[in-house]
Structure 1
Amino acid sequence: MSDNINNNKNYNLILRSPWEYLPDEIVTNIFLRLPIKSIIICTSVSKTWKSLIQNPTFISNHLHHSYTTTTNNHNLLLIGPHTKELVCALHNEDDPYFGQHTRFDCHPALRFDSGILYLVSTCNGLLCLSNTHDINRFFLLNPCGRKFVELPSPNVTLHNYFEPSLGFGYDSKTNDYKVVRAVSLMLTEDGSVFQNPQTPVVEVYSLSTGQWKMLSAPVCFVYGRQKQAFVNGALHWLASRSTTTNDGKNEVHFVLVLDLGDEVFREILLPENCSSVSVYGNSIAMFQRGSYECIFNIWVMKEYGVASSWMKVHQNRTLPIQRAVGFRRNGEVVLQMFGGSLVSWNPESQKNKDLGIIGFSFTFVGYYVESLVLLDKTANGAVTY
């Protein structure tokens, strides 16, 4: 009898992998250095590994490791969608030919019979998505981890003729991801016709609580369906306000800033009226279209938050630009030309390179890092696909 028991123990020891005997600290350090697809495969190897990888502390450490190590993961640029379907691609900026690192298509559950599912923004490996014909539906998607969450409907239901401004970012103070929707309800007294701007209706969604809540905002007009810029823990949109002086009515243009930590608004004055805002390193930049489509100015805020540090750094008078899409890490600007072609333009040399990609009105360009965010959210509504 005792021989049988000893034989069973020896048999169990043989079945156990040598990895099972390594301390968690060593296994964790190994996992941090693996490609993200390999890490996800490891969750199917054993319950111990799955528990370790899906631990929020490991997910946070993995994200920090991705940002601080010199790997391809640190130099990925997300471009997409390229068509009316959500087809995004990651490109390696270190590749002189701008080679494609990987691509991912929209999950069938995120496809709609009408409208366009577009990319609002990306942060720490998550994509925030919305639909042009159903502006009360939002999704957070981790394409590398193959998980997504559909957000509950906001407290205020908007009709599709409204054009809200959206924002998405990370609150490092509470380790939380937040989606913000702001819309200016420009209504007359009887509520029938759009006219003068009122205080915008602003709601913020917290991934940690799974709920929307209302925020107090200043009286201003927030331009609808514009690109936002998330930098230094805050969201940035273009806004304006009418003021009355002795000279009559004046239009004041500024950047409306929402700090995601304290959820308080502030304003940064603009030197001139601009058409879009973009992340520029640890600061922001503004794109300005002139009276002719080929005139395109770039303003850079040299010292973040200091309005007097705005500087017009470049002026283009040659390229037939439809719009500026965003900055690359090397300082070049991705531009969408008339016809849809995307080019990378060097403001210093005034040279441009065709990226071989056709964009459309909702094409997005932004920095991207592969992450495990949402991998621990299965119990909170995250769907695996």
Structure 2
Amino acid sequence: MSDNAKVSWDSLPVEIVTQILLRLPIKSIIISTSVCKTWKSIIQNPTFIPTHLHHSTTTNHLLLFSNLLSINPIFRVVATCNGLVCLSDDRLEYTNQYYLWNPCVRKYVKLPYPNFSFKNRDEFIHSIGFGFDPKTNDYKVVRMVSLRDDPDCRKDRPTVEVYTLSTGEWRTVTPVLSPICILHECETPAFVNGALHWIGFRRNEYDDYQLRYFVLVFNLGDEVFHEISLPELPEYNPNQDSSELSVVNRNSIALFHENCFRGFLDIWVMKEYGVASSWTKVFTFTEHNPEVDLPLALGFRRNSELVLEMQSLQLISLDLGNQNMKDLGINTYSYTFVGSYVESLVLLDKAANGAVTN
């Protein structure tokens, strides 16, 4: 073949080269930035990273598993979103350190210290949430802190701070915008439909001896709160019952309600997001032997299978429809995080905003 007959990559239309690059593995895309100026320009184009992310979320899906020892004995995984992993040091120690890390492009951003801090964490209930704001195409970390000892549950509002990746700064949400309530103890809120979801509670306005529990929703776009009722939970005891929210079907929330003293774990699913009447109990684990622990519900896979940590510290996947169980071949340790993960190029273009290569 003569030199004139050879096909040059530079002679291909940019549209075709872009489609080829979008389908390459992450490592190959990064290497491609050094092949030629044209490829580098295509990859660094502001539209390439979100286009690649869209392609990745529709064709590639992974189950992210981590435990406390596999990352660092100090940091835990808070949540994942679009290939970014949010890390916090609030598991063993507490020095107000947070990171956003993309393991695929080997870049991370260390967040500045928040505006509000406390030395004695036993006095506060603290929770960190992480998600993507489609309204501004920005990533946000939300920090909620409420007093642990507030017997009235009527006076205090949680302190709310929001970190945005685009600005690299924390800012405090106007106090009057946060509702008067206390956060229920939880590791991480559920992020779905552009909003974070916690469990909050306050005194019943008609009965001082009763607490009213509800889903506290914080919309990342408008940065406003609203509430969704929880299902009726008879004889709910905040000193014995454990409750967590999780994302299910990628567009709604589920409730894990456990009472180890009475030996049950109920799985509730909100069939229609935002409609309290659609809460449905889909599964119940019961254990009549008080010496045997119930399984720990960790979350849902993208196929809506429930991931459980068994007494043997192995992870299994449960199909709630046919109730089939599948061993995932993973053993856990002292802390376990299971979540959805997609490979992405997010942070590849953030060198100017403090992203560091690790």
Answer whether TM exceeds 0.5 for this pair: yes
Question: Is 1:47 matched up with 2:37?
Answer: yes
Report SS of the residue matched to 2:330: strand
Separation in structure 2 between the aligned mates of residue 300 and residue 145 of structure 1, nearest angstrom: 35
1:42 deviates by 0.8
Separation in structure 1 between the aligned mates of residue 208 and residue 101 of structure 2, nearest angstrom: 48
Question: What is the match of residue 212 of structure 1?
Answer: 170
**Residue-by-residue CA offset, 1:142-182 (whole Å, 9 max, x unaligned):** 00111100011111123252441110000111110000010
Separation in structure 1 between the aligned mates of residue 317 and residue 294 of structure 2, nearest angstrom: 12
Question: What is the match of residue 316 of structure 1?
Answer: 285
Question: Is 1:375 matched up with 2:348?
Answer: yes
1:244 deviates by 3.6
Separation in structure 2 between the aligned mates of residue 65 and residue 351 of structure 1, nearest angstrom: 31
- 2:69 is aligned, of 81, 84, 89, to 84
Contact 1:119 1:362 in 2 (8 A): no
Question: Is 1:253 matched up with 2:213?
Answer: yes
Separation in structure 2 between the aligned mates of residue 350 and residue 21 of structure 1, nearest angstrom: 56
Q: CA RMSD in A?
A: 2.3
Question: What is the match of residue 191 of structure 1?
Answer: none
Question: What is the match of residue 346 of structure 1?
Answer: 319
Counterpart residue type for residue 224 of structure 2:
V
1:186 deviates by 3.8
The equivalences for 1:51-200 within 5 A come to 51-68=41-58, 71=59, 73=60, 75-81=61-67, 83-86=68-71, 116-132=74-90, 133-159=93-119, 161=121, 162-186=124-148, 197=153, 198-200=156-158
Counterpart residue type for residue 264 of structure 1:
V
1:357 deviates by 1.8
Question: Is 1:238 matched up with 2:199?
Answer: yes
Counterpart residue type for residue 315 of structure 1:
T
Separation in structure 1 between the aligned mates of residue 324 and residue 47 of structure 2, nearest angstrom: 45
Question: What is the match of residue 202 of structure 1?
Answer: 160
Separation in structure 1 between the aligned mates of residue 280 and residue 209 of structure 2, nearest angstrom: 27
Counterpart residue type for residue 173 of structure 1:
K
- 1:223 is aligned, of 184, 196, 200, to 184
Larger-gyration structure (1/2): 1
Counterpart residue type for residue 45 of structure 2:
N
Counterpart residue type for residue 268 of structure 2:
W
TM-score normalised by structure 1 residue count: 0.80
Question: What is the match of residue 301 of structure 2?
Answer: 328
Report SS of the residue matched to 1:374: coil
Question: Is 1:280 matched up with 2:231?
Answer: no
Contact 1:123 1:170 in 2 (8 A): yes
Contact 1:136 1:158 in 2 (8 A): no
Aligned residue pairs total 333
Separation in structure 2 between the aligned mates of residue 221 and residue 57 of structure 1, nearest angstrom: 41
Report SS of the residue matched to 1:49: helix
Contact 1:243 1:252 in 2 (8 A): yes
Counterpart residue type for residue 94 of structure 2:
D
Report SS of the residue matched to 2:307: strand
Report SS of the residue matched to 1:213: strand
Contact 1:280 1:327 in 2 (8 A): yes
Counterpart residue type for residue 32 of structure 1:
L
1:158/1:50 Cα in 2 relative to 1: closer, same or farther (>3 Å)? farther
**Residue-by-residue CA offset, 1:102-141 (whole Å, 9 max, x unaligned):** xxxxxxxxx5xxx521000000000000012135111000
Report SS of the residue matched to 2:96: strand
- 2:16 is aligned, of 26, 30, 51, to 26
Contact 2:102 2:346 in 1 (8 A): yes
Report SS of the residue matched to 2:147: coil
1:78/1:262 Cα in 2 relative to 1: closer, same or farther (>3 Å)? same
1:363/1:253 Cα in 2 relative to 1: closer, same or farther (>3 Å)? same
Report SS of the residue matched to 2:18: helix
Separation in structure 2 between the aligned mates of residue 163 and residue 135 of structure 1, nearest angstrom: 15
Report SS of the residue matched to 2:212: strand
1:277 deviates by 0.5
1:320 deviates by 4.1
Separation in structure 1 between the aligned mates of residue 327 and residue 333 of structure 2, nearest angstrom: 15
Counterpart residue type for residue 126 of structure 1:
L
Separation in structure 2 between the aligned mates of residue 163 and residue 44 of structure 1, nearest angstrom: 48
Counterpart residue type for residue 39 of structure 1:
I
Question: What is the match of residue 108 of structure 1?
Answer: none
Separation in structure 1 between the aligned mates of residue 111 and residue 17 of structure 2, nearest angstrom: 34
Report SS of the residue matched to 2:69: coil
**Residue-by-residue CA offset, 1:236-284 (whole Å, 9 max, x unaligned):** 1111111242x44220111111110000011111112561000011110
1:330 deviates by 2.5
Counterpart residue type for residue 77 of structure 1:
L
Report SS of the residue matched to 1:181: strand
1:334 deviates by 0.8
1:293/1:41 Cα in 2 relative to 1: closer, same or farther (>3 Å)? farther
What is the percent sequence identity of the aligned residues? 55
**Residue-by-residue CA offset, 1:31-88 (whole Å, 9 max, x unaligned):** 11111221111122233322321222100111112223xx3x1x3111112x4231xx
